[in-house]
Every structure is written in C-alpha cells, then in structure tokens.
A and B are shown apart, each in its own frame.
Chain A
Amino acid sequence: MVNKTEISPERKVGLINRLLANNISIPNLRDLRQTVNAADLSVIITRIYDLNETEIFKVALLDGFLKKLDDLKNARRNARFTKKMEGGFRNGKNMVILAEGDSWFNYPVILTDVIDRICMEKNMAVYSLASGGDWLLNMLNARNYVEQLSVIRPDVFLISAGGNDLVGSRRLAAIVDPTGASIAYQNNLWAQKLITKAEKNIVPLDPEKFRDGLKYLSRDFFALLMFFHLQYYFLIRGILTGGVKDGEPKFPGIRIITQGYDFAIPSYDKRWGIKPWLWYVPLIRSFAGHGTWLKTPLQIRGINKPETQENVVYAMIYLFNEMMIEMGTIFEEDDKIKGRVFHIDSRDSLGKDGWTDELHPKPNHFMNTGHCFVKCINGEAVTYGNVYVVKSIFP
C-alpha cells in the first residue's frame, strides 16, 4: 500500500536497527518504507557506510574531467531539448522526458548510451541531469530532479541509479563476506520473497550461480539492498503522490521508468584485438577504471576465483533487478497510480562479449536497452507485469 501510516519515533528507530541487522520482517519493512523520510535515509546511510554524512557525500562527489565531459554532453542534449520546445514540440502527442541517472544514461564522447538512443526519437525530447559515476544518494540529496520536475512537468521520468552506490569507491569490498559462509540471504525473508516471486521463465535464474554468489554477500549488502528499496520508494512516491493540491498530485499522469543493469563481469582483461571498429574497448579498459569497480574490491577481500567473482555479481544484480521490479508491483496496489512505474530489465542481454568494460555495455547493447525504453515510453506492449525484458525484445 502506498498510503502513509504513522509509527512512533521509537518504533522507527527499532525498525531501522532491524533493517541494518538484516532481520527486519516483511510487514515491518513495509511500515518503515511508508514512513521513511530524508532524515531517516540519512541515518541509515551513515550507519551502512560507517562514515559521517559529510564524508559520504565527499566519497560520492563527482568532480574532475569526467564531470566536465558529462556536463558538456548534458548541455548539448538540453540545448536540443530547448530548441524542440521553442519549436512547439509540446502538443499533447509528443513525449517530454526528464532523465536522472549514471553512466548508463550519460557516457561521455565515445559510447552511445541509453539516453542518446532515446534522443534519436522524433517524438521525444529529453532533458538530462544524468552524470557518469553519480550515486543514487547524490541524486536524492541534490534533488536537481525535483526542481526540473516542477519546471519541465515531464510526461515520463527516467532513472538509472544504484550501481555506483554498490561499486563506487571500492564499496563492493565492504559488502561481501570472503568466508563464503554467509547466511545473510537465509535471514532475509524479503529477499527470499523477491526470488520466489521472480518471473524465472522469462529471465531464468541459474540456481547454482545464484547460490554460490549468495554465500559471499554479507548482511551489509542486504541492508544496502533494502536501503535502495527505501530510497527508490521515497523518490517514486514523492513524484507520484507529492505536492497534492485540491486532491490532485503535482504531477498527474507522470510515468516513471527504471532500469537495473546486467550481470557485469569482474575482469582486468584489456581485450586487445585486431578488430579496428572495437578500438575503444582496450582504450577505455586501459584508462577509465576498468577492474577497479568489481575485480579489485573482490580481490582485496580475498575472493580471487573468477567464477566466484562472477557469481557474486550475478547474485547482486539478480536481486537488485527483482527489488526494482517489486517497486512497480507495490505502486500497482494503489488504483490512483496504477500502471505508472515500469522497469527495463537488461539482465542476460549482453552475454560475455557485450561489455565495453566492467560496468558499461558496448554501444549496440546500450542502444537495445534504449530501444526498450522507447517502446515503454510509446506505451507498446510489456513483456510481463510492468517489465520490458531486453532479452525478450532483442533475443
């Protein structure tokens, strides 16, 4: 249920403690998410990351050359957006879109990313706030999307976030259990329910890989996963039901589309080869952080076996996507906002050769994912529920 319920501050503290200890029940998690506010999210994150809030924002802060390139790309996109608006684009048929996200939405210069593909559509105008390397935490804290939502009043809001909160600044090392004996999943009924409810016929679950990966995911990972659940709920609820005036929410009819990445492969391989059209793969792998997001943090914690490393990421991404899919289901429960939250599921669409580096697909896969966003924005048929599965659309 999306409706707010009230709980006492003491009970809320208790629920937060339970969440952090990975032993919160499903009804309690529901109660917590219905009452969570920005201050609670701040308390939870400082305890997950074991840092004070200022330090966390310093870790998550984007700066330097990459940020400048991102800004440049956004400036060009947004200039095109403004030009379209000046030409009378908003006519009730065309789609006005606001995008907030990470490098899947804004990869500077070399790669064609998801938003680049959406921008190619004649009936879509995209205003982009996305920045490579951006954390969900930053997006919620900076609240740039809130300001632009009010100004632009988009038909569709796109968000791609969470990846950098998981693997940025070598955070991955902090959320794995190198003993391989973790029972954090067994203690988390909510995560188990996510997997029970998963549409395994459409995105098959490899039980062996998943089980092996789970053995290395610590309770901090599950706390972070539940934290993402709260953050996304807070963000989506705010957009769909916030700013009510005369019984009408501020953004009536707005649709929200999320995405949840694919099974990334930890690697140091530079992929030197003889195909000149893939010139950018070794270049990006040599100079843009390849290996430092997944492989190095896992090796720091002594998880050295490549298959185990792959399985850890497999389990993480499977759960992350199911958490996002559940988000859509939750908002389906309220008739007033039914059919407004969608998920683009990229799992298993890239394969082993589909990656430019550890985290970013090759442009053709980015374009396929972007094309699924286009289908969703245009209201074409879903794969199931509120989910568009990239692999089903581009087998």
Chain B
Amino acid sequence: MRALLWIAFILAVVFIGRISSRITCLAGSDNSIIKIELAGKDDGIKIIKTWSDIKYKCGTVLDLARKDTCWDFLFIVIYIGLIIIESTSFRQFEPYYSLNELLRMNLFLAVIAGLLDITENFIILYNVEHYSTPDCYFPSRWFAGAKFILVIWCILIWLIAIVHRIILHYQKQASLPPHIAD
C-alpha cells in the first residue's frame, strides 16, 4: 500500500509536472500554474488573459490549465493518503508523546490541506471557464497559501521525527537494562 502510494505519487508528479512545465514554456514563468494559485485578482486576470491568447494545438493554454487542474484532483487523493500513511508509520516509532501527538495531528491537517486544495482547484476551473468576464474572477491565493503552509508543516514534523528517531537509535542501546544491552 505504502509502496504503491509512493509509485502513484511519483507518476503523478511526473505527469502533472509535464503539463505544468508545458504551460510555463508556452506562457512564461510569470504565468505558471503555481503563480495563478497564489495570485491576487489583478495578477490572476492577467495570467488568464495570457493563457487565453496563446494558441496550443486546437485550443489555447487554457485547455492545458484545465487538464492540469483536473489531474490535480487525483494528485490530492494520493498526497493525502501518503501524508496519512507516512505520519502513522513515523508515529509507530515515536515514544515521545508530544511528537507522537503532532504526527497524529498531521492526519487532520492533511485532510484540511486536501479540502483547501479541492476548493482551490474548483476556483481555478471557475476562473478558466469565465476567462472572458474578468469581473467574475475569484482569487484562490488564501486557499493555496493555507494549503502550502499545512503541507510544509506536515513535512517539517516528519523531518523532526526522523531526527528524533536517529537520536533515539543511539540513546536506546545505552539505556537498555544490563541483561539485555550488548
């Protein structure tokens, strides 16, 4: 399960990464998918306008952005699953209660991050759909910002757990009862 999720995660990163880099190549680094996720209203309208002006195959870059966002829904499920499974796995080696509790909180934060990402994706799809009416534009920056903070927090807790596990590894041997320690 864990290995499958990691494989799915890597495949999704490669696949979505290819679509995103195509958008960046065509529209420039100032008009990338990440930029629109974190853009305010004016910048967002500008990016959408740029995308709608650049032809790509039979349509425009907007079609690529729509495709990227739709695949992102699958990516959300994968990374939520991964955060839950990895946090649970780290927790099984974590006897320090506060860190154990923080790893448990990752489960909750992963779900919240996923819900924020889903909301953000719907907002982007709405904005892409209404590209011709800039007044309808709704920025997704707050949802995207909160999502990134939560995901970075989860990864930070993982890193702390890894460091703590390494420290424990060296401490434990010394603290074992004499009849058990080597």
Residues of A within 8 A of B (CB): 72, 76, 93-95, 109-110, 112, 116-117, 119-123, 276-277, 279-280, 363-364, 367, 378-380
Contact = CB atoms under 8 A, between A and B. Distances in A.
A378 B97 contact: no
B108 A364 contact: no
A120 B95 contact: yes
A110 B172 contact: no
A280 B1 CA distance: 23
A363 B97 contact: yes
B92 A120 contact: yes
21 contacts: A76-B92, A93-B179, A94-B180, A109-B84, A109-B107, A110-B107, A112-B91, A112-B100, A112-B104, A116-B92, A120-B94, A121-B172, A122-B173, A123-B180, A276-B105, A276-B108, A277-B101, A280-B104, A280-B107, A367-B97, A379-B179
Contacts, number: 56
A109 B180 contact: no
Contacts of B169: 122
Contacts of B172: 121-122
Nearest to B97: A364
A367 B176 contact: no
Interface string B140-177: 00000000000000000000000000000100110011
A367 B95 contact: yes
Interface in B87-141: 88, 91-95, 97, 100-102, 104-105, 107-108
Sorted nearest first, the 10 A-B pairs with minimum C-beta distance are A279-B108, A120-B95, A123-B180, A122-B172, A364-B97, A93-B180, A378-B177, A277-B105, A277-B101, A116-B92
A35 B1 CA distance: 48
A116 B90 CA distance: 11
Nearest to B176: A123
B100 A363 contact: yes
Nearest to B169: A122
B176 A122 contact: yes
A380 B177 CA distance: 9
A280 B84 CA distance: 14
A378 B94 CA distance: 19
Contact of B93 (A120, A280, A367, A380): A120
B177 to A, nearest CB: 5
Contacts of A367: 95, 97, 100
A276 B109 CA distance: 10
